[in-house]
Amino acid sequence: METLDRPAVRKLMGEVLAVQGKTLPADDTAKLADIGFRSLDFSELALRVEDEIGDELNFEAAGLRSIETIADVLDLLVEIQEQ
C-alpha cells in the first residue's frame, strides 16, 4: 500500500479547507475549532487520503483518540496508514 507522508496529508487538509474559503494556518498547533475544521471536514480529508493511497483506512485501530489540533489530525492519518 502506498502511503502519504505528513506534508502530503497537510496539503490535502489545506485543499479541504480551501473549498470552504478557509486557509490552513502554518502553525500545526492551531486548534481545529479555531480554524473551523469540523468532523465532516475530517471525513472529507480521510476520503481524500484513501483515494490517494488506493486503500481504506482502519479507524478502528485508532480508538477514540482526542483530536484537537492540526498536528493531531496529521499524526492520526499518518499513523493509521502505517498500521
Buried (b) or exposed (e) across 20-36, using 16+ Cβ within 10 A? eeeebeeeeebebeebe
55-69 average pLDDT score: 79
* The model's pTM: 0.89
Q: Is the pLDDT of residue 60 over 90?
A: no
Is the model more confident about 76 or about 82?
A: 76
**What average pLDDT does the structure give for the chain?**
91
Q: Which three cell numbers stand for residue 21?
A: 474559503
- According to the model, what pLDDT value does residue 58 have? 85
**50 pLDDT above the threshold of 90:** yes
pLDDT of residue 51: 96
